[in-house]
Amino acid sequence: MTSGRGTRLRTFERAVSVRIAESALTLNGVLRMERLHRWLTVRKLQEKFDVRRIAFEQLRKWSVAPDTGNLSHESGKFFSVEGLSVAVSDGPVKEWSQPILNQPEVGILGILVKEIDGVLHCLMQAKMEPGNADGIQLSPTVQATRSNYSQVHKGRPVPYLHYFRDTAGHRVLADVLQSEQGSWFYRKRNRNMIVEVTTDVEVIDGFSWVTIGQLHSLLSEYDLINMDARTVLSCLPFSAAGIASLFSFGGDDFQSSVIRSFSEDNGSLHSSGDVLSWITESRVGNDVTTKLIPLNETTGWRRTSHAITHETEAFFDIIAVDVSAESREVQGWSQPMISPRGTGLVAFLVKRISGVLHVLVNARVEPGYLDVVELAPTVQCSPENYDHLPPDARPPYLDDVLEAPADAVRYDTILSEEGGRFFEAQNRYLVIEVGDGEHEDVRQDFRWLTVHQLTALIRHSHYVNVQARSLVACLHSLSCGLPGGNG
C-alpha cells in the first residue's frame, strides 16, 4: 500500500518537473530574448573593470610565507596556494607534486526562482570576475564564499543572501554539496541551492529574471553562462515526464532519445545498484595518497617574480593579478590565480541504445577530490599536456573526440571555469554521438549510463564532477530542442 505522504511527494515532484519543463520551453519571459541580449550588452558596456598581471611582491594583503613559500591572505580566510604531494596506484604518472588552491570553507551558489505570469523565472546576475575572458557572465543570484558573505573583505553585503541562509517559508528545490575542480582545488565544496519564493522580490541593478529556456539558449553562446550557474542548473529536478507532459515525442530522432534518457530507469544498461557498486569499487580499488606540503617543496615547478610554472611549461601557472571593479562588493583588490595552459577539452561520447541516449562516463581520480573518485566526462583534458608523455599515456577516447565527423557533433561550445580563482580558463564542451555498435566493450573505469542515472547522482554529494555537471546542463538544452552550441 502506498502512503498518502508518498503519493503527495510524487505529485509535488511531478508538478515541479512540469513547471520546470514549461520554463525550459519558454524563450520569452519577463524580458524577450532580444531585450535580454541587449541588457547583457549594456551591462558589458557599463561595467568598468580592469585586471592586470602583477608580480607576487605587489600583492596587497597577501604574502609569501618565508618558511613554506605558501601564498595566503593576511586574514587567514579566502584561500591559500600550497603544495600537494600525490601518489596513485594507477595511471601513466604514479607520483608527483603540484601547487593547489586550499579553500576549506563552503560557499553558497544559489539561484532564486519565482513564478511570474505562470512561468518559473530565475533571478540571475550579470557578474564580472577577474578571470573571465570576456568580462561579464551570467551567474547565480548568490555566488559567494563564506569569507565574502561574512564580509571579511569589509565590503558591501552580498545581495539576496538571506533567502539562502534562512529558507523557512520558502520552497527548496535543490540543496546539495558539490565538489569543484579536483586537479586545482584541495577538497573544495560549495552548497548548490535552488530556492523558490512567492513574495515580491526587489530586482536591483545588475540582476534580471530569466526563464530556464533562456538560460539554456544562452548556454549555447560563447562563454556567457558561468560555471557556477551551470552547476546549479544541473541540480534542477529536470525530468522527461515534465517535457513529455507538454508535447508528444516519438520516433528515433536524437531529441526523443535524450528525452527518454531522462526517464526513470528507461532502458538503462546498468541498474542503479550496479552503478553505485561500480563507483564504490572504483573508490576502494584506487589507492590515492595526498598530503599538503610547503609550496616551495613541490618538484618540477619553478618560481619567478611573476609566475610559478611547471618545468615542461604544461598544465598551469600560478600568477598574481590586481583588480578594480566598481560593481563588486569590494571595488579593488589583488589575488593569486591559476592560469591554465591552452584550451581544455571536455566531452561526452553518447549513443542511442534501444532508442535511449546513453553517455559514456569515466570514474575519474583527481587528487583534490574528497572521496577519491567522481564520475567525469568521457574525455576531460588539455591535449597538449600529454606532449611530453609517451603515446600510451594519452587519455582513452581522446582521438574519438578529436577526429569526430562534423555530423556526429550534437553540442559544441566554449565555456569557462570559475573566474574568481582561474584566469581565462576555457574549455571546449562537446557532445558527440557514436554509432549504436561502437564502444560496446569499454574499459573498467568507464560505463554507459542514462542521463537519468547521472541526474539522480547529482542530487547527492561527490558523485558527479563539475565538468560533467556542465555537460548535463547542456543535455537539458538538447532535450528541449535548443541549439547545440556555437561550434
Using one digit for the tens of pLDDT, what is the confidence trace for 75-127? Answer: 998 999 999 999 999 888 999 999 999 999 999 999 999 999 999 999 999 99
Instruction: For 122-156, write each residue's pLDDT tens digit.
Output: 999 999 999 999 889 999 999 998 866 565 545 67
Would the annotation count 211 as a binding residue? no
**DSSP H/E element including 301:** strand 301-303
Would the annotation count 190 as a binding residue? no
Q: Helix H segments across 203-352?
A: 212-219, 227-234, 240-244, 254-261, 272-285
Q: Report yes or no on 484 lying in a domain.
A: no
| pLDDT value of residue 1 | 41
Number of other residues whose CB lies within 10 A of the CB of residue 110: 27
Would the annotation count 132 as a binding residue? no
Would the annotation count 301 as a binding residue? yes
* Mean pLDDT value of segment 312-340: 91
Cβ distance 246 to 18 under 8 Å? yes
| pLDDT value of residue 487 | 55
Same domain, 41 and 169: yes
- Number of structural domains (the chain) is 2
Cβ distance 70 to 63 under 8 Å? no
Q: Report yes or no on 324 lying in a domain.
A: yes
Would the annotation count 217 as a binding residue? no
Would the annotation count 410 as a binding residue? no
Same domain, 386 and 457: yes
Instruction: For 31-57, write each residue's pLDDT tens digit.
Output: 999 999 999 999 988 888 899 999 999
Whether pLDDT at 353 is above 80: yes
Q: Report yes or no on 483 lying in a domain.
A: no
Same domain, 45 and 55: no
* Mean pLDDT value of segment 156-160: 90
Query: Hey, which of 92-101, 149-158, 258-267, 322-331 has the most confident mean pLDDT?
Result: 92-101
Q: Report yes or no on 7 lying in a domain.
A: no
Same domain, 135 and 277: yes
| pLDDT value of residue 260 | 87
Residue finishing a domain among 323, 340, 357? 340
* pLDDT band with cut points at 50, 70 and 90 for residue 237: confident
Would the annotation count 480 as a binding residue? no
Instruction: For 398-426, write each residue's pLDDT tens digit.
Output: 999 999 999 999 999 999 999 999 999 99
Beta strands in 326-425 (DSSP E): 332-340, 344-353, 356-365, 373-376, 379-381, 409-416
The mean pLDDT value of the chain amounts to: 91
Nearest-angstrom CA–CA distance, 245 and 214: 20
Same domain, 171 and 187: yes
Question: Which of 473, 466, 471 lies closest to 182, judged by CA?
Answer: 466
Would the annotation count 274 as a binding residue? no
Same domain, 389 and 451: yes
Same domain, 209 and 303: no
Whether pLDDT at 241 is above 70: no
Nearest-angstrom CA–CA distance, 308 and 339: 10
Residue finishing a domain among 279, 313, 340? 340
Q: Report yes or no on 226 lying in a domain.
A: yes
| pLDDT value of residue 474 | 95
Would the annotation count 381 as a binding residue? yes
Rounded to 5 degrees, what angle do the CA atoms 381, 393, 443 make?
A: 85
Would the annotation count 187 as a binding residue? no
| pLDDT value of residue 149 | 58
Would the annotation count 183 as a binding residue? yes
pTM over 0.85: yes
Would the annotation count 419 as a binding residue? yes
| pLDDT value of residue 401 | 97
Whether pLDDT at 9 is above 70: no
Would the annotation count 416 as a binding residue? no
Same domain, 389 and 467: yes
Same domain, 96 and 235: no
Residue finishing a domain among 340, 362, 377? 340
Q: Report yes or no on 28 lying in a domain.
A: yes
Instruction: For 430-476, write each residue's pLDDT tens digit.
Output: 999 999 889 999 999 999 999 999 999 999 999 999 999 999 999 99
| pLDDT value of residue 56 | 97
Whether pLDDT at 483 is above 90: no
Q: Is 335 helix (H, G, I), strand (E, B) or coil?
A: strand
Same domain, 298 and 331: yes
Would the annotation count 352 as a binding residue? no
Indicate which CATH number applies to the domain containing 401.
3.90.79.40
Would the annotation count 226 as a binding residue? no
Sign of CA dihedral 217, 222, 227, 231: positive
| pLDDT value of residue 391 | 85
> Which of 240 and 418 is assigned the larger pLDDT?
418
Q: Report yes or no on 201 lying in a domain.
A: yes
Whether pLDDT at 2 is above 50: no
Boundaries of domain holding 321:
51-101+290-340
Q: Report yes or no on 3 lying in a domain.
A: no
| pLDDT value of residue 8 | 55
* pLDDT band with cut points at 50, 70 and 90 for residue 240: low
Instruction: For 195-220, write each residue's pLDDT tens digit.
Output: 999 999 999 999 999 999 999 999 99
* Mean pLDDT value of segment 294-322: 97
Nearest-angstrom CA–CA distance, 242 and 224: 27
Would the annotation count 385 as a binding residue? yes
Same domain, 35 and 135: yes
Lowest pLDDT segment from 244-248, 260-264, 394-398: 244-248
Same domain, 270 and 244: yes
